[in-house]
Amino acid sequence: MSVTEQIPVYVGFDASSNPSGINLFQAEDVFAVNNGGTGTSSLADFGTALSATDVVTSKMYAIEFSGTAYLGDRVLVTSVSSTAASSLAFVGASVSATTASSINMAATGVSATNVSAVSLIVGEAGAPYPMPIPAPWAWTMVTVAGTAESDEQNIGVGATTSTQQSSTDEIEWDTDEERFDVKATGTYELTLNAVLSVASTTVVTLKMYSSAPGDAKLTATTTVHSSIDPQSVTLTMVTVISNGSYAFATTTDDASTDVTVEPGTTLMLKRLK
């Protein structure tokens, strides 16, 4: 038996509200939503009316959304809002996205087993010098001995040095001044491993600066024996260094005996916070 499309009928009434006959529904006839109808006379109008309907719910459950790259056994939400999100994929207990923009997340805590990124920035909102992760660092190593001198001079003067640095936007070794130029305010650790030799046994003074001119932030003395040199001495200083300042170390002899900074001497600066 074939099935053909049917048009509903309804009872017509005359001006006195008396039944007057059976009528076919016309294109302009509709059932109101309150009476169980759609309130519209076409599917196109129904879609427009439905999309404008305000739906408020405290719970939403779903077995499966297909065709939108989401598969899961249940979704429970109180509210969902987003300005823009594209190329999203939700699979099981994981969420991945190629592009997501203008998403607002508020939570009392965020935890994860694994987090990976090319770089992270940690700091208070609006802070001028947030802390990058990994932390900035730079070091220089003497590969050819420096100038023998009894007066105070920077480690690296007259020497050939090899330098590595994580980013010149944060810390940069100045080969002309033999110092680290600091480009972000923070707490830094300056470490010196000096390999020293002298013409005759003498006391050498090592100083570490975080800016100049000014007093040394750390001073130490060591006796270098000419019969057993070169001698290795290590100093470490932790201090706050401001943007635009610099850090360096010096040698001085107390009896006009020339001090030579030998290959293997290293000077490292790294940011702690």
Q: Are both 137 and 249 inside the same structural domain?
A: yes
Indicate whether 2 belongs to any domain.
Answer: no
**Is 200 among the domain residues?**
yes
Q: Looking at the structure, do residues 236 and 262 belong to the same domain, yes or no?
A: yes
Lowest mean pLDDT among 17-26, 54-63, 117-126, 127-136: 54-63
Q: pLDDT at position 181, please?
A: 95
Domain that holds residue 247: 132-271
Q: Are 266 and 137 in a shared domain?
A: yes
Is the same domain home to 90 and 47?
no
Q: Is residue 159 part of a domain?
A: yes
**Residue 61, domain member (yes or no):** no
- Does residue 58 carry a pLDDT above 80? no
Examine the domain organization and report whether 173 and 256 are in the same domain: yes
Question: What pLDDT is stored for residue 205 in this prediction?
Answer: 94
Same-domain pairing of 97 and 164: no
Do residues 92 and 163 both lie within one domain?
Answer: no
State whether 47 and 150 are in the same domain.
no
- Region of poorest pLDDT, from 64-68, 111-115, 136-140: 64-68
247 vs 63, residue with greater confidence:
247
The tens digit of pLDDT for each residue in 192-220 reads 999 999 989 999 999 999 886 567 889 99
The answer to whether the predicted template modeling score (pTM) of the entire model surpasses 0.75 is no
Q: Is residue 57 part of a domain?
A: no
Query: How would you write the chain as a 3-class SS string?
Result: CCCCCCCCEEEEECCCCCEEEEEECCCCCCCCHHHCCCCCCCHHHHHHHHHCCCCCCCCCCCCCCCCCCEECCCCCCCCCCCCEEEEEEEECCEEEEEEEECCCCCCCCCCCCCCCCCCEEECCCCCCCCEEECCCEEEEEEEECCCCECCCEECCCCCEEEEEECCCCCEEEECCCCEEEECCCEEEEEEEEEEEEECCCEEEEEEEECCCCCCCCEEEEEEECCCCCCEEEEEEEEEEECCCCEEEEEEEECCCCCEEECCCCEEEEEECC
| Residue 87 sits in the same domain as residue 25 | no
Residue range 82-102, pLDDT digits in tens? 455 555 554 545 555 555 555
Same domain (yes/no): 105, 151: no
Confidence band of 69 (pLDDT split at 50, 70, 90): very low
| Number of independent structural domains in the chain | 3
Q: So what's the pLDDT on residue 30?
A: 81
Same domain for 264 and 153? yes
Q: Average pLDDT over the chain, rounded to whole?
A: 78
60 in a domain, yes or no? no
Q: Could you tell me which residue, 184 or 111, shows the higher pLDDT?
A: 184
Is 261 contained in some domain?
Answer: yes
What is the mean predicted confidence (pLDDT) over 21-28?
80
